[in-house]
Each structure stands twice: as structure tokens, then as C-alpha cells.
Amino acid sequence: MFCRTYTCRSVADGLKTGMALKPQLFVEASVSFVVIHNFNLIASKMTPVQTVDLINHLWIIFDDIAAKHNVYKVGGPTSNML
């Protein structure tokens, strides 16, 4: 799971098979910072497990959108959480 969360498919597949990987250059990049409006209020009314489930669900949606648009994603739900 770690390989797919933090690397693109070709890198993840190469790491799994032990293949030597060459560095890649990306000429263009975008950065997205996500803020959930009233997150503290929402989370205060949920159990810790429900909060984690909510965050995981939102990341799944973001991952699906990124995959649909062939986006190379670096980072994941634990990158800047808590």
C-alpha cells in the first residue's frame, strides 16, 4: 500500500520487482492543500474511528479523481495530519 500511496504506478511496480529506477524530472507541478471547512466541529461530534474513516473516504475520492486525470500524486493522508 505504501508504494501506491506515495509513488506513481511505474515507480511502485519497479520497487516491488527490485528494478533499478532512474530519477525523473517533472517540468510542471501543481500543489494542492486541502482544508475541510469546520473540520474541528465535525470531528468533535465523531468518534476517533469515524474521523479516520471520514478522512480515508475523502482521500479515496481525491485518489480516484487523480487517477482519472493521470496525476502523479506524492503524499497521502498521513503527510500532514495531526
List all residues 6 or more positions away from 15 whose beta carbon is below 8 Å from its beta carbon: 3, 7, 21
DSSP state letter for 43? H
Amino acid (one-letter) located at 42: I
DSSP 64: H
- Written as tens digits, the pLDDT of the chain (82 aa) is 444 444 566 677 777 787 777 777 777 777 777 788 899 999 999 999 999 999 889 888 888 888 898 877 666 555 444 3
Domain residue limits, the chain: 2-68
- Global pTM value: 0.53
Spatial distance between the Cα atoms of 28 and 25, rounded to a whole number of angstroms: 9
